[in-house]
């Protein structure tokens, strides 16, 4: 049985494909993503308050390396088919992560009462930007007047990172008691917010149908094969870090997910020759729906197998 | 009766993702003011929908001298036309307080 939030996604998808007039205000979409990012951050921060932070540093290095390796592998696969700018740009999308996929994963675990480690939201925050930098270097080379200062600013002060890490800091400082007054909004309404957010995602995904029809089979095959391959590396990484099955599943979902917000905007500026429609069609039209419909249950199954092999 | 003077208005319709970069260019090239609005429509690159960031469009309007407007247009053509969805045009307008433009 599909989670109820996924049914909202399917409703949006169907409405979009049927060219319904349904349209959500941009401000609502922005507000919902703000609530989701803060909720994920708060929850993580609350959990982190109960443990020491120093042992996390090597884990962060490991997940950043995971994102970079995935970007480079995706690049060499895509380069066989696409021009350099397109291959580099799309590789960055696939190396980076999707908050929406992560949120659906969190919801999947919550629904089933499965725990996961509180540091997973930090993984989400640190895995977003390094693949963008790798993608830009792949497309333009190391010494080509890249505005590193601006990229660095994006890395630490982009909207997603500020809300996630800011939420974690608030959760960490406030602790469970301090968070009690805001819980009704951020925790109790999480599912409802996610449901409406996914309704809009369905509408956005439906708009990719045209490009997919034109670009055909390669994008569809890549859009499914790449996350499956990434999930194996993600699962292995989760086991190396000693994560629980729930944590391994979320890391697997992060590895398998592809960015459709931070990366397209940055790549559009840094690698203008790349065609943004190609990447978005693959990421939104294929990989995102695949991940939330079939990927997440499969990644948990995989995580359980992986977790079983830990000594 | 109010006396007006002729100036040129440059209108640019393009992807909102390049807004900051474009406005920085305009400032550098000596533009003294501009107006930015959200826009949507349809063109050779498909429907541009202001409802979603990745496909959102903006319209930038600049009123300036003919000379500057032509220089701006040449700059756009050289640096943006190849890779971004962009339409721009010049039109003659009449303004009061010509010293502002």
How many angstroms away from the CA of A42 is the closest CA of chain B?
A: 26
What are the tens digits of pLDDT across the range A5-39?
999 999 999 999 999 999 888 889 889 999 999 99
Tell which of B14, B16, B17 to mutate to test the A interface (max A CBs under 10 Å).
B17
pLDDT tens digit at each of 311 positions of chain A: 678 999 999 999 999 999 999 988 888 988 999 999 999 999 889 888 888 888 889 999 999 999 999 999 999 999 999 999 999 999 999 999 999 999 999 999 999 999 999 999 999 988 988 998 899 899 987 766 667 777 777 767 878 889 988 999 999 999 889 999 999 999 999 999 999 999 999 998 898 887 788 777 899 999 999 999 999 999 999 999 999 999 999 999 999 999 988 888 888 888 888 888 889 889 999 999 999 999 999 999 999 998 776 54
- How do residues B15-27 score in pLDDT, each as one tens digit? 988 898 899 999 9
Nearest CA in chain B to A211: B46
Q: Domain A24-307 adopts which CATH fold?
A: Na+/H+ antiporter like fold (1.20.1530)
pLDDT of residue B100: 84
ipTM, 2 decimals?
A: 0.72
Q: What percent of chain A has pLDDT over 90?
A: 64
pLDDT tens across B64-76, in order?
999 999 999 999 9
**Regions of chain B with pLDDT less than 50:** none
Question: Does B49 contact A207 at a Cβ distance shorter than 8 Å?
Answer: yes
How far apart are alpha carbons A102 and A247 in whole angstroms? 11
Do residue B54 and residue A273 have CB atoms under 8 angstroms apart? no
Contact A26 B21 (CB under 8 A): no
Q: Measure the CA–CA gap between A39 and B6, rounded to whole angstroms.
A: 55
Cβ separation B17–A273 shorter than 8 A: no
Report the b/e string of A218-256 with b at 16+ CB within 10 A.
Answer: ebbebbbebbebbbebbbbbbbebebbbbbbbbbbbbbb
pLDDT at A1: 67
Q: Could you tell me if B18 lies within 8 Å of chain A, comparing CB atoms?
A: yes
Burial class (CB in 10 A: 0-12, 13-18, 19+), A26: middle
Question: What CATH code would you report for B5-100?
Answer: 3.30.70.120
Beta pairing partners, B36: B60
pLDDT at A311: 44
Domain spans of chain B, in order of start:
5-100
Q: Helix count (H) and strand count (E) of chain B?
A: 2, 6
d(CA B27, CA B23): 6
What is the pLDDT at residue A100?
A: 93
- The distance of A52 to chain B (nearest Cα, Å) reads 39
| Whole-model pTM over 0.95 | no
DSSP three-state, residue A145: coil
Query: Any idea where the domains of chain A sit in the sequence?
Result: 24-307
Residue A288 pairs in a beta bridge with none
How far is it, in rounded angstroms, from Cα B25 to Cα A295? Answer: 44
């Amino acid at each position: 049985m599909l989670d109820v939030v996924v049914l909202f996604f399917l409703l949006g998808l169907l409405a979009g494909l049927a060219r319904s007039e349904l349209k959500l205000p941009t401000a609502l979409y922005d507000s919902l993503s703000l609530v989701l990012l803060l909720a994920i951050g708060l929850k993580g921060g609350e959990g982190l308050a109960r443990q020491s932070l120093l042992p996390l540093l090597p884990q962060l290095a490991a997940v950043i390396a995971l994102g970079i390796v995935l970007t480079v592998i995706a690049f060499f696969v895509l380069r066989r088919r696409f021009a350099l700018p397109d291959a580099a740009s799309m590789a960055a999308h696939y190396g980076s992560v999707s908050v929406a996929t992560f949120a659906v994963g969190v919801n999947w675990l919550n629904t089933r009462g499965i725990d996961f480690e509180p540091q997973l939201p930090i993984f989400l925050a640190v895995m977003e930007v390094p693949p963008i930098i790798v993608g830009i270097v792949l497309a333009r080379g190391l010494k080509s007047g890249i505005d590193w200062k601006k990229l660095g600013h994006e890395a630490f002060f982009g909207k997603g990172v500020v809300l996630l890490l800011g939420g974690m800091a608030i959760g960490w400082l406030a602790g469970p008691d301090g968070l009690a007054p805001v819980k009704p909004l951020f925790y109790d309404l999480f599912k409802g917010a996610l449901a409406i957010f996914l309704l809009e995602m369905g509408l956005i995904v439906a708009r990719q149908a045209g490009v997919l029809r034109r670009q055909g089979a390669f994008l569809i095959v890549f859009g499914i094969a790449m996350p499956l391959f990434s999930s194996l590396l993600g699962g292995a990484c989760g086991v190396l870090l000693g994560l629980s099955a729930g944590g391994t599943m979320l890391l697997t979902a992060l590895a398998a997910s592809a960015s459709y917000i931070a990366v397209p905007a940055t790549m559009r500026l840094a690698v203008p020759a790349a065609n943004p429609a190609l990447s978005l069609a693959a990421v939104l039209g294929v990989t995102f729906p695949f991940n939330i419909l079939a990927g997440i249950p499969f990644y948990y199954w995989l995580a359980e197998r992986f977790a079983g092999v830990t000594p | 009766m109010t006396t007006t003077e002729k100036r040129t208005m440059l209108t640019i319709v393009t992807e909102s993702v390049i807004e900051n970069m474009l406005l920085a260019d305009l400032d550098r090239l000596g533009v003294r003011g501009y107006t930015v609005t959200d826009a949507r429509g349809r063109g050779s690159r498909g429907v541009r929908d202001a409802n979603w960031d990745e496909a959102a469009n903006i319209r930038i309007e600049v009123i300036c001298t003919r000379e500057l407007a032509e220089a701006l247009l040449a700059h756009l053509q050289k640096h943006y036309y190849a890779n971004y969805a962009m339409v721009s045009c010049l039109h003659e307008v009449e303004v009061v307080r010509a010293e502002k433009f």
